[in-house]
Amino acid sequence: MRCAKFGTNKLAFWLSSLIVLAGLAAAQAVRGTLLGTVTDSTGAAVPNAKVTITEMNTGITRTAQTNESGNYVFPALDPGVYRVSVEQTGFRTAVKEGVNVLVNTTVRADLTLEPGVITEAITVTAEVPMLQTDRADTGRKIEAVQIVNMPLAYNRNYFALLNLVPGTTRAFQPHSEFFNSQGALDTQVNGVNRLANNVQLEGVDNNHRTGLLTILVPPIEALETVDVSTSNYEAELGRAGGAVINLMLKSGTNELHGALYAFHRDSALDARETFQPRKPVTTYNYYGFNLGGPIRRNRTFFFGDYLGIKDRRGDAFIISVPTAPFRAGDFSSVAARAAIYDPATGNRDTGAGRQPFPGNVIPDSRISPIAKRILAMVPLPNLGADISNNYASSTTRKKDSDSFDIKVDHQQSEKDRFSFRYSF
């Protein structure tokens, strides 16, 4: 009986921990806020008016009442395009469509009620505000249309879009390809070291444990918004001294949507470099898909994406390798400028009294057998008999990667929403 009680308590503990962690995750800056003021035709505030907002792609609705000052607010909204409807007895229904709420933004939608019957409606289209007046942070929101349509370097990496944000330097790829195999980019913001940036994926930390790199680099086809804050951050962002880059993935809607894409590069279409005897073989394939839609209309939605990269990158180079006489210990060709001294002669500490090998040739018996075996694995020159820059070759670096995201959103009620995402 005691064991059963302990098991029940343990289960309750883990469930409560999960709920707390989910609440903390939801508190991250991955939502937007929609607010406004409702007035009549004279400019007086209209209290206790019913305000209903509807996300136009998912059909999810929320309601609120205006306060005594005619103000209303909808916090913690999912990014999307909303319809705002206001009803009050003695007035026509006012509707504003196309209100675009982005991640980490506060959007204002003020409405004016005209006298009339509540069944009559006046519909207007929301205008893009030229100035943000409801919050003090600075930065930029880069939306899906811009992400997909703008040309991107660095293997179509979204991070190149940060060149559009004031105060940033040109994006660059830090570290070697071995350590930075995911192709993460970085930038400096407002003169602050790049290590002060904070990259998040839907509000969750997306930084390498060393703090040097970004872990996941989603394909641009899967991104809904790239939110960049460069100063006066909201309190929930925290700890960044440079920029806070928050990536929001797309979500499913009431309509089934998808995309299939592939990009191919081949050295057969490239020109040969002037000083290279042949072109290095290069084949690069970047391909993937995404799909999103409803599981239950107006309630439950899914979205998933996959990205595959198959990279065979050729690299041509010219280096210096030991010639055949050098491998045999014969350095007579360089005796005039590089005498080879016998280390068994003279003072070992000062080098005084050293004697060169006769003819500048090291006897075969004095050459380490280990060194001989190592030299046997080094290729001979193929660019003539010169002792430097005498070997040309090409190699092919192989890199394969697969990544995907799975996301499910469920709206239980106006106040309860669940979201699950797994990224690999």
Segment 200-206 shows an average pLDDT of 89
- Digit-coded pLDDT (tens) for 258-297: 999 999 989 888 888 777 767 788 899 999 999 999 999 9
Distance of CA 269 to the CA centre of its chain: 30
Q: What is the pLDDT at residue 20?
A: 43
Do the Cβ atoms of 245 and 199 come closer than 8 Å?
A: yes
Is residue 99 located within the same domain as residue 35?
Answer: yes
Of 201, 189, 193, the closest CA to residue 233 belongs to 189
Query: Which has more confidence, 118 or 82?
Result: 82
Strand partners, 226: 142, 247
Residue 7 forms part of a structural domain: no
Helix spans in 41-199 (H)? 144-149
Is residue 163 located within the same domain as residue 111?
Answer: no
The DSSP output letter for 346 is S
Of 199, 200, 177, 176, the closest CA to residue 186 belongs to 199
Of 208-212, 292-296, 416-420, give the lowest mean pLDDT range.
208-212
Residue 6 forms part of a structural domain: no
Q: Which of 227, 249, 271 is the last residue of a domain?
A: 249
pLDDT at 3 over 70: no
Q: What is the pLDDT at residue 5?
A: 46
Contacts 24+ apart (CB under 8 A), 175-181: 175/212, 175/213, 177/397, 177/399, 179/213, 180/213, 181/399, 181/401
Confidence bin at 129 (pLDDT 50/70/90): low
Confidence bin at 1 (pLDDT 50/70/90): very low
Helix (H) or strand (E) holding 183: none
Do the Cβ atoms of 67 and 47 come closer than 8 Å?
A: yes
Residue 339 forms part of a structural domain: yes
Taken as a whole, the chain contains a residue count of 424
Is residue 38 located within the same domain as residue 119?
Answer: yes
Domain of residue 39 covers 31-125
Q: Say how far apart CA 40 and CA 193 lie, in whole Å.
A: 51
Is residue 345 located within the same domain as residue 296?
Answer: no
Of 167-176, 282-291, 396-405, give the lowest mean pLDDT range.
167-176
Joined tokens for residue 104:
């980490």
Joined tokens for residue 197:
């940036």
pLDDT at 170 over 50: yes
Among 11-15, 69-73, 178-182, 279-283, name the most confident range. 69-73
Q: What is the pLDDT at residue 240?
A: 77
Is residue 301 located within the same domain as residue 400?
Answer: yes
Do the Cβ atoms of 28 and 76 come closer than 8 Å?
A: no
Q: Say how far apart CA 155 and CA 286 lie, in whole Å.
A: 8
Joined tokens for residue 371:
């060194």
Do the Cβ atoms of 392 and 400 come closer than 8 Å?
A: no
Is residue 362 located within the same domain as residue 333?
Answer: yes
Q: What is the pLDDT at residue 15?
A: 52
pLDDT at 395 over 50: yes
Is residue 37 located within the same domain as residue 119?
Answer: yes
| Number of folded domains that form the chain | 4
Confidence bin at 416 (pLDDT 50/70/90): confident
pLDDT at 213 over 60: yes
Phi-psi region of 204 (alpha: psi -120 to 50; beta: other; left: phi over 0): beta
Q: Tell me, what amino acid is at 156? A: R
Is residue 168 located within the same domain as residue 236?
Answer: yes
Residue 169 forms part of a structural domain: yes
Residue 261, helix vs strand vs coil = strand
Joined tokens for residue 409:
């959103």
Segment 170-174 shows an average pLDDT of 87
Is residue 244 located within the same domain as residue 311?
Answer: no
Query: Which has more confidence, 42 or 144?
Result: 42
Q: Say how far apart CA 98 and CA 80 lie, in whole Å.
A: 9
Do the Cβ atoms of 287 and 261 come closer than 8 Å?
A: yes
Of 329, 341, 339, 325, the closest CA to residue 371 belongs to 329
Sheet holding 198-201, edge to edge: 138-143, 223-231, 244-249, 198-201, 204-205
Do the Cβ atoms of 302 and 251 come closer than 8 Å?
A: no
Confidence bin at 85 (pLDDT 50/70/90): very high
Confidence bin at 124 (pLDDT 50/70/90): confident
Pairing label, strands 121-125, 111-113: unpaired
Helix (H) or strand (E) holding 237: none
The DSSP output letter for 211 is S
Of 32-36, 39-43, 148-152, 309-313, give the lowest mean pLDDT range.
148-152
Segment 246-256 shows an average pLDDT of 93
Is residue 78 located within the same domain as residue 189?
Answer: no
Query: Which has more confidence, 54 or 13?
Result: 54
Is residue 422 located within the same domain as residue 279?
Answer: yes
Is residue 307 located within the same domain as residue 404?
Answer: yes
- Digit-coded pLDDT (tens) for 294-332: 999 999 999 999 999 999 888 878 899 999 999 999 999
Residue 22 forms part of a structural domain: no
Q: What is the pLDDT at residue 4?
A: 45
Query: Which has more confidence, 36 or 237?
Result: 36
The DSSP output letter for 179 is T
Of 56, 160, 60, 144, the closest CA to residue 102 belongs to 144
Q: What is the pLDDT at residue 208?
A: 84
Domain containing residue 105: CATH number: 2.60.40.1120
Residue 132 forms part of a structural domain: no
